[in-house]
Chains A and B, each alone.
Chain A
Amino acid sequence: MSPLQNKTDLEHLLALQKDNESALQHFFNLYYPSLVYFAFDITKDIAVAEEISSDAFLKLWHKRDQFFKVNSLKAYLYRIVKNASIDFNRVNKVALKNEQGYQYLAEPTEIAIEEKIIAAETYALVLAALETMPAGYQRVFRGIYLEGKSYEELAREMDTNTVNIRNQKFKAILFLRKKVPFTILLTLYFI
């Protein structure tokens, strides 16, 4: 699975260098949600997080001929979003301080930033895994692992018996092991 996936990502990168807009869309679909999550984690403002993330892709488009590794492209996007989010907080310090429900947001340390990237990337991977699963497996997987429900509870909710739930869970795990190309990003380091 992964070599093929790598190739397509790399092919998209080459297409991007040649002004291909659908290649930009490919990377947008891949990274936009985790970038928005990351920016929101810093700014606590969803509209701003979306704007900052979208602008990062605009900047990427301007520099589209300068990326030769998918990882540098991703790191570039995170860096732009990080800087813009911190800038936003600097300018809006007072506003955030006054708004009910928020405390003054201190400037995040490098370690905090790294933790926020880890969170955004982790959840992007979990979501990608969930979204490739058929609906029935998804329900069981979410129920058992994410919502902490028992087999009995789920069986009652889904109007079936616990044996079926057990089977569905097993299939869901097999499905994830086979289908989810977690190695995509990692093997790329060595290209």
Chain B
Amino acid sequence: MNYPFQETEERAQRIAYLVAGFINKTLTTKEHDELDLWLEENDENVELFSRLTDERNVNYAMAFMKGIDKESAYEKLRSKIFAEKKQRRWLLPVSIAAIFLIAFSIDWLVKTKPVVSTLPTPDIATTSDVPPGSSKAVLQLANGKTIALGKDSHGTIAKEENIAIAADNQTLVYSGQTSSNAAVFNTLTVPKGGKYKLVLSDGSQVWLNAASSIKYPVAFNGPERSVVIEGEAFFDVTKDDQHPFIVQTNSASIQVLGTSFNVSSYLDEPLATAVLVTGKIKVIAAGKQQELAPGEQATIATTGDMKLSTANIKVATAWKDDQFVFKDAPIEQIMRQLSRWYNVTVVYKGTVNYHFFAAISRDEPLSKVLQLLEQTKHVHFTLHSDTIEVSD
């Protein structure tokens, strides 16, 4: 098959090849000339070229694409293909069974709970409920080896550069001294539906929320204590004026003396935020810097624009105490959090213009949270296995 769109796509591919070759420094002289020719065509091309080769955009795109979980996405696709194959064969008997089941459940509901029905209930009758997230993470050592950590992980797991790595009480702890000067990095990754706590070799504590990761040296032996995060983390940093603590995200860098603060930098959120609880931090984004006082927050848009405002510390750090606290929150913001904690996909079937106020424990199953939101009568949910449909 040939499509008219194919021409556009092929031309785009050739330009992409030239620009990528420019970034990678792999262009031949001839290709360089070809790129120059394209740039000379018009100003739009020059503008596009400078946007594409902007180091921040390249880094953002690298982080974005690396963050995509190809394996589990493919597994989902496979199960869809498999379900289709099955469905054709079993469609009729299954749908008859489903009708009976629904009829039966309605009957049962009417008989057993005649009074309760004033509260709206999400449509979860045909599937099992989604349990809340729990302590789990994957540790990647400097040699690339990975170790899965769960609720019950316990004892010494590994040793790097004389530093002992132990798991205890859903926390990963680095302890010991090293004489080595080599920067040896480990990475702790928390999947959707997970959380984990980490104690770094300097005693600083880090709580990681669902769908987040942190890269850090096993021991801090340089002039700075530098870590890189993606997603959301709460830091309680050990004071050491001689060695500033630096948190890098894809959009900002945060310099710390000794303090506690929350950083949220999810790629699927429109804004990244840093909320200061105690002490003093400096946030640097897109070449500008701002100092924060306790109770203040910096929000950073994808463009790099930074704004300071008063923070709601309870809302920003509720997750660390296993709570959801929503204050004047649009449904999309709530659903992104639920999607990460319950590892579910969200589909919108209608527009919900209402802003929600709610607080509930993160240990509750998903249906409880949805019921609570439905009580406002401004939103309705349908839950099929791991997908929530949102309608008004």
Contact = CB atoms under 8 A, between A and B. Distances in A.
A28 to B, nearest CB: 5
B11 interface: yes
Interface string B1-32: 11101101111111111011101111000000
A37 B65 contact: yes
A148 B55 contact: yes
Contacts of A122: 15-16, 19-20, 23, 52
A119 B61 contact: yes
A47 B345 contact: yes
Interface stretch (B70-78, B122-130, B145-153, B373-381): B70-78
Interface in A113-163: 113-115, 117-127, 129-130, 145-148, 156-159
Contact of B25 (A33, A44, A145): A145
B5 A78 contact: yes
A111 to B, nearest CB: 7
A58 interface: yes
Contacts of B65: 33-34, 36-37, 123-124, 127
Interface in A31-45: 32-34, 36-37, 40, 44-45
Interface SS of chain B: helix
Contacts of A71: 6, 9-10, 13
Interface string B153-172: 00000000000000000000
Nearest to A67: B1
Interface in B47-75: 48, 51-52, 55, 58-59, 61-62, 64-66, 68, 70, 73-74
Interface in B316-367: 330, 332-333, 336, 339, 345-348, 351-353
Contacts, number: 188
Contact of A33 (B1, B70, B336): B70
A124 B17 CA distance: 10
B348 A79 contact: no
A9 interface: no
Nearest to A32: B70
Contacts of B351: 92, 94-95
Given A46-B268, A186-B17, A33 B55 contact: no
A37 B61 CA distance: 8
A25 B72 CA distance: 12
A29 B74 CA distance: 8
B183 interface: yes
A126 B12 CA distance: 15
Contact of B10 (A61, A75, A82): A75
Contacts of A45: 268
Contacts of B12: 114, 117-118, 121
B238 to A, nearest CB: 22
A118 B25 contact: no
A118 B15 contact: yes
B246 to A, nearest CB: 12
B330 A98 contact: yes
A164 interface: no
B80 A126 contact: no
A47 B339 contact: yes
Nearest to B64: A37
B26 A158 contact: no
B270 interface: yes
The 8 closest A-B pairs by CB, nearest first: A121-B16, A101-B270, A125-B20, A46-B268, A123-B61, A75-B6, A75-B9, A117-B12
